[in-house]
Structure 1
Amino acid sequence: MTWLKDVIGTEKAIIAMCHLLPLPGDPSYDHAKGMDYVIEMARKDFLALQEGGVDAVMFSNEFSLPYLTDVKTETVAAMARIIGELMPLIKIPFGVNVLWDAKKSLDLAAATGAKFVREIFTGVYASDFGLWNTNVGETIRHQHRIGASNVKLLFNIVPEAAKYVADREIESVVKSTVFNNRPDALCVSGLTAGAETNDEILHRVKKMAGNTVVLANTGIRLENVERQLSIADGAVVGTTFKYDGVFENHVDVQRVKALMAKVKAFRGDKISV
């Protein structure tokens, strides 16, 4: 049994993304509508996900495009306000992801009581955001300094829109990441949000990961969810829960219910009457 059962309540867990609209400081932030509108839309999307039956939610500043790797204070402050205002409504476990800044994700988790964070913790990459470096040793020490030792760390080892500077086989990446860093989970992604995770790569990661949780990180849909969950220990799901399966749209509760019904049947969950 993995930590997913203890922290999220089930194996083969579905972690749904609650994508926040552009925030203060972001190029596309709507100054006229302001933070009240951002919070209203976050509440709407979150409640649709929760009502739809997802196992957990991860809040992310998904529309803070183009992303920073050294995120500004105003972004973390805005995310903390949103989660704080939603807190009375939250009945399921939640995590956070401040794109793409591991320390800021941990700061937000410590402030809000998030159970997990997903980030790029290791590696050096050639990316759409320039040369992307990390410092996992300092990040983990920061985690312990701020009292976030119990926050589970989801390592994104196949980053979206980026590639290792060194030519490394995925098996090498998995083996050294697990040995050196003891991640709580490894996230395997497609090229962008909504792009299907490659089955072969998922298999190769799972084979090398030992007892470490492996999550399919992008591109889960009705037609592939059973296949991907037969390989992975769980999945992070965002785009497919939105109206018409379009990244920019808001969450459609009927799409959430449809996918979760299939997941729960696959898991053999007891359905309460």
Structure 2
Amino acid sequence: MTWLKDIIGTEKAIIAMCHLLPLPGDPYYEKEKGMDYVIEMARKDLHALQDGGVDAVMFSNEFSLPYLTDVKTETVAAMARIIGELMSEIKVPFGVNVLWDAKKSLDLAAATGAKFVREIFTGVYASDFGTWDTNVGETIRHQYRIGAENVKLLFNIVPEAAKYLADRDIESIAKSTVFNNRPDALCVSGLTAGAQTDLQLLARVKDVVPDTVVLANTGVRLENLEQQLSVADGAVTGTAFKYDGKFENQVDINRVKEFMDKVKAFRS
């Protein structure tokens, strides 16, 4: 029995991404449409995901491209407003992810009552965003300082668009991450959003940390979900739920229903 059952209500949980459009301060923010439009699009996606039967949702500033590793205050403020306006309509457990800033993700969780955050908490990477450093000791102390100690931490140990600077295999990373940091879950990803997570990589991680929740973090689709969930304890899914399976599109409730029907059949 894992915490997924307590917090989300089921094992083999599907956490669906609610991708927010560009926000104030982002290069592609549509000023003429403003925040009301961003909120309306988030509302549509949230309802499509919930009505389609997902187990949980995670709000992220997915379209704040290109990403920062030290996120600006205006981004967190905008995300808090969106979640605040949708709060009475959120019917499933939810988490947040302020890309790519662990402390800001925790700030947003504390402000909104999110149950979990997903972030890059550990490691040093060569990435599309430059040299990407972390400070997990400071991040966890910040979590306790702001009263967010009950927020579950989903550690992404294979960040998208980045490579670990040290020459370490995935088993070493998984084992030391669990030993040193006690993550609530490890997330294993493909190269970019929507790219399939390597099944062998998932299996190697799960084998060395059998008592830790391991999530397939990208690329779980209708065609491979049984295969992925036979190894992973759950999945974080975004692109698969969108019209035509395209990252930039809105959520298609029919794709969500078809996917979740298959998940429920697999679970039973």
TM-score bracket relative to the smaller structure: over 0.9
Q: Which residue in 2 is equivalent to 1:173?
A: 173
**SS of equivalent to 2:249:** coil
Looking at structure 1, the residues matched to 161 and 232 of structure 2 have their Cα atoms a distance apart, in angstroms, of 22
Q: Which residue in 2 is equivalent to 1:254?
A: 254
Q: Which residue in 1 is equivalent to 2:146?
A: 146
The C-alpha deviation readout for 1:23-81, integer Å capped at 9, x for no partner, is 00000000000000000000000000000000000000000000000000000000000
Kindly provide the amino acid, as one letter, of the partner of residue 172 in structure 2: S
How far apart are residue 210 of structure 1 and its match? 2.5
**SS of equivalent to 1:17:** strand
| Unaligned ranges ≥5, structure 2 | none
The C-alpha deviation readout for 1:185-240, integer Å capped at 9, x for no partner, is 00000000000000000000000112110000000111100000000000000000
**SS of equivalent to 1:18:** strand
Looking at structure 1, the residues matched to 210 and 257 of structure 2 have their Cα atoms a distance apart, in angstroms, of 32
Kindly provide the amino acid, as one letter, of the partner of residue 85 in structure 2: E
The C-alpha deviation readout for 1:92-125, integer Å capped at 9, x for no partner, is 0000000000000000000000000000000000
Looking at structure 1, the residues matched to 209 and 92 of structure 2 have their Cα atoms a distance apart, in angstroms, of 27
> Are 1:26 and 2:26 an aligned pair?
yes
> Are 1:189 and 2:189 an aligned pair?
yes
**SS of equivalent to 1:80:** helix
The CA RMSD over aligned residues, in Å, is 0.3
Within 5 A, what are the aligned runs for 1:1-150?
1-150=1-150
Moved over 6 A (4+): none
Length, aligned pairs only: 268
How far apart are residue 88 of structure 1 and its match? 0.5
Q: Which residue in 2 is equivalent to 1:155?
A: 155
| Unaligned ranges ≥5, structure 1 | 269-273
- Percent sequence identity over aligned pairs: 84
**SS of equivalent to 1:79:** helix
Looking at structure 2, the residues matched to 43 and 90 of structure 1 have their Cα atoms a distance apart, in angstroms, of 9
Looking at structure 2, the residues matched to 140 and 117 of structure 1 have their Cα atoms a distance apart, in angstroms, of 12
**SS of equivalent to 1:121:** coil
Q: Which residue in 1 is equivalent to 2:233?
A: 233
Looking at structure 1, the residues matched to 29 and 181 of structure 2 have their Cα atoms a distance apart, in angstroms, of 36
Looking at structure 2, the residues matched to 242 and 165 of structure 1 have their Cα atoms a distance apart, in angstroms, of 34
Looking at structure 1, the residues matched to 110 and 85 of structure 2 have their Cα atoms a distance apart, in angstroms, of 16
**SS of equivalent to 2:231:** coil
> Are 1:199 and 2:170 an aligned pair?
no
TM-score normalised by L of structure 1: 0.98
Kindly provide the amino acid, as one letter, of the partner of residue 213 in structure 1: V
**SS of equivalent to 1:230:** helix
How far apart are residue 130 of structure 1 and its match? 0.1
Kindly provide the amino acid, as one letter, of the partner of residue 209 in structure 2: A
How far apart are residue 257 of structure 1 and its match? 0.2
